[in-house]
Structure 1
Amino acid sequence: MAHDIVFFLAPDDEAAAATRLRRPGTVFESVTCHFMEPDTAIAEWDMYFEEPSAEAPPSEQLYAWEPWPEWVTVPKHDGIEVIALPQRLTRALAHASSTELEELAGRWTARLRSEDGDEMTDDDLLAVLQGVARLAASAVNTGGGLYSWSL
């Protein structure tokens, strides 16, 4: 399980890839959360906006989701991953209503609690989503991209 995840706004894939060896929050506007996998979070958010439902999807459906988030940098043995959020998800987050973010946060919390139990993050997942949605709105307005960096 990833320990630190930083969702951040960058002008392009090259700039995002350059954050691989340093935390992007020192250079780019960002939102940090802990103890979750960024690729499954991204897939779940994308799934929600494509097929809205308050119910968390079964794990098999989540892991079969296409397109799966893509790495911006080639994974290495140091555990650092930089992933681009799909453009359609960035647009969906940028235009999400507070009700949609609340429903998604509830669904995301339920899935994490069922999979991780007491090991679930202590982060306020609604606050994380609200922060990521603000970054998404900036990405849409500036033509940049939304990315995650994790270790």
Structure 2
Amino acid sequence: MAHDIVFFLAPDDATAAATNRLRPGQAFESVTCRFIEPDSAIAEWDMYFEEPSAEFPPRERLHAWSWPDHVTAPLNDGVEVFALPPRLTRALADAGSTELAELADRWTARLRAEDGDEMTDDDLPAVLKGVSRLAASAVSTGTGLYSWSF
């Protein structure tokens, strides 16, 4: 399981990829959380907006979903940088409070079911709202939304 996750805005994949060696700094607008797997979170969020449901998907269904693309090849150092799909960025930017609350509940339920006491102690609804704000900024400025994790 990843330890530190930063969702951040970057002007392009090359700029996002440059964060591979170093955590995205203060130059990037970002939201930080801990102890989640960003690729499964991104896939689950994308699945929710394509097939809305209050129930979290079975693990097999989630794993069969289209997962985010790396912007750099994964290295043995444990750092991963993913690009959120543009359709997900738009969906998060356009999401209302009811959609975000339902998605946050579903996401939290899945993490609790899979991770139990090892689940993050971050406020996941607040993380999701923060990522939604980043998505709105990405859409309005034409930048990309990315995740960095170690």
TM-score bracket for this pair, using the shorter chain length: over 0.9
1:42-67, CA deviations, whole angstroms, 9 ceiling, x for partnerless residues? 0000000000000000000000002x
In the alignment, which residue of structure 1 is the partner of 2:45?
A: 45
Stretches (4+) displaced over 3 A: none
Partners of 1:6 and 1:25 within 8 A in 2: no
Q: How many residue pairs end up in the alignment? A: 150
Q: Which runs of 5+ in 2 are unaligned?
A: none
Q: Which runs of 5+ in 1 are unaligned?
A: none
Q: CA deviation at 1:95?
A: 0.4
Aligned residue for 1:93? 92
Partner of 2:122: 123
Query: Per-residue CA shift, 1:79-137, capped at 9, x if unaligned?
Result: 00000000000000000000000000000000000000000000111000000000000
Match for residue 59 of structure 1?
Answer: 59
Q: For 1:87 and 1:111, locate their aligned partners in 2 and report how far apart those are by CA, in whole Å.
A: 24
- 1:21 deviates by 1.2
Task: Give the secondary structure class of the aligned counterpart of 1:26.
Answer: coil
Is it true that 1:111 corresponds to 2:107 in the alignment?
A: no
Distance 2:95 2:11 in 1: 22
Within 5 Å, which residues of 2 pair with 1:122-141? 122-141=121-140
Whole-angstrom distance in 2 between the partners of 1:22 and 1:131:
22
CA distance in 2, matches of 1:136, 1:19: 19
- Post-superposition shift, 1:26? 2.5
Alignment of 1:23-42 (within 5 A): 23-42=23-42
Residue identity over aligned pairs, in percent, reads: 77
Q: In 2, are the aligned partners of 1:8 and 1:25 still within 8 Å (CA)?
A: no
Aligned partners of 1:5, 1:36: CA distance in 2, in Å? Answer: 7
Report the equivalent of 2:144: 145
Distance in 2, Cα, partners of 1:11 & 1:60? 34
- Secondary structure of residue in 2 paired with 1:36: coil
What secondary structure, in the 3-state scheme, does the structure 1 residue paired with 2:20 have? coil
Cα displacement (A) at 1:31:
0.2
Instruction: Tell me what 2:75 maps to.
Output: 76
Partner amino acid, structure 2, of 1:4: D
Instruction: Determine the C-alpha separation between the residues in 1 that align with 2:114 and 2:97.
Output: 26
Equivalent position of 1:12 in the other structure: 12
Counterpart contact for 1:101–1:126, Cα < 8 Å: yes
